[in-house]
Structure 1
Amino acid sequence: MKVSDVMATPPVCVAPHDPLVEATRLMAQSGVGSLLVVEEGALRGIVTDRDIAVRGMGGGLTPETPVDAVISAPVTVVDVNDDLQVAYQTFRRTGVRRLPVLNAGEAVGVLTIDDLFLDVLRRLADLLGPIAWSVLREPPGPPPQGGASVEP
C-alpha cells in the first residue's frame, strides 16, 4: 500500500508571513491541527496548534506575529509514491506525528499517525468482521456438544 492511499488531501496551507490569528482561524475552519507553510510553491515548514499555543501565545508573541516565527523547519517529508512501510519507519525514526507528502517537490497531502492508526483499525475490522458476525449468530450459552457451531 502507498502513502497516497491513506494521506489526507488536499493539504491545508498558510504563507509564512500570515499572522498567527489567521493560521488559527484556518485550522478551526478546516478541522485540522496543523498547516503546511508554503511559499511560492515550496514547502517551508509546518505549524501545529501546539506550536501556536506554546511558542506563540505562551512565548509572549502577539496574534499578529507571522507564522514564520513559530514553524517547525526543516520538515521531514515522505513521497506520495512511498510504500506505507517507509512512512512507518519515518514516524518511528523521527518521533513526529505529521508528515507532509510531496509529489515532485510539491505538497499534495499530509499523513498523520492517526491516519495510520485508522487504516490499521479498518484492516482489522475487515479481517475480523466475518468472525464477529459468526459469533453473533450463535445462540447464547455453552457451545453444543462436539463444539460445532449451530446455524439458525
Structure 2
Amino acid sequence: MKAVDMMTAPPVTVGPTATAFEAALRMEQEAIGCVLVTDRDGQLCGILTDRDLTLRGLAHGVDYGRLVADLMTAPVTTVGADDDLDTAYRTFRSAGVRRLPVLDDGRPIGMLTVDDLLRDVVQRLFDLLIPVSRSVLRENVV
C-alpha cells in the first residue's frame, strides 16, 4: 500500500502571508491541528501546527496578526505519493513527527498522520485475527 492510499485529501493550506489568527481560524473550521503553508505556485514551504502557534506564538506574546511565515516549521519532513507505507513508518520514526505531508512534484496532495497508520495497524491485526478466531470457533463447535 502507498502513502497516497492512506492519506487524507485534499490538504488544508494557507499562504505564508496569512496571519496566525487566520490560520488558527482555518484549523478550527476544518477541525484539524495543522495547515500546510504553500507559495503561489502550490509548492510546500512550511507547516504550521497548533503546537507552533502555542510555543512560537502565544508563549512569547506574539500578536495574532503575525505572519504564518514567521511561525511555521520549515523545512518540512514529507513523503512522496508513491512511497510505500513502510517508508512512511520509517519517516515517522526517524523524524519524530505526527504528520507527514504527501507530495507529488513538490506540491502537497494530502496529509498522512500517525492516526492514519494506527488505523492501518488495527486493520492488519483485525485481518490476522479473523481467521484465527474462526478456527477457534470451529474447534469449539466440534
Q: TM-score, normalised by structure 1?
A: 0.85
Q: How big is the shift at 1:98?
A: 1.1
Does residue 127 of structure 2 align to residue 126 of structure 1?
yes
The aligned runs of 1:3-152 (5 Å cut-off) are: 3-40=3-40, 41-132=42-133, 148-150=139-141
Q: Is the radius of gyration larger for structure 1 or structure 2?
A: 1
Q: Segments of 4+ in structure 1 off by > 6 A?
A: none
List alignment gaps of at least 5 residues for structure 1: 139-147
- Structure with the bigger percentage of helix: 2
Identical aligned pairs, as a percentage?
48
Describe the SS at the equivalent of 1:149. helix
Per chain length, whose mean CA-contact separation is higher, i.e. which structure has more relative contact order (CA < 8 Å, sep 6+)? 2
RMSD (Å) for aligned C-alpha atoms:
1.7
Q: TM-score, normalised by structure 2?
A: 0.91
List alignment gaps of at least 5 residues for structure 2: none
Read off the aligned partner of 1:77 and give its amino acid letter: T
* Structure 2 counterpart of 1:145: none
Deviations 1:7-64 (A, max 9, x none): 1110000111111111111111111111100011111100000110111111110111
Deviations 1:99-143 (A, max 9, x none): 1111112110111111111111122123223544676x69xxxxx
Aligned length: 141
Read off the aligned partner of 2:120 and give its amino acid letter: D
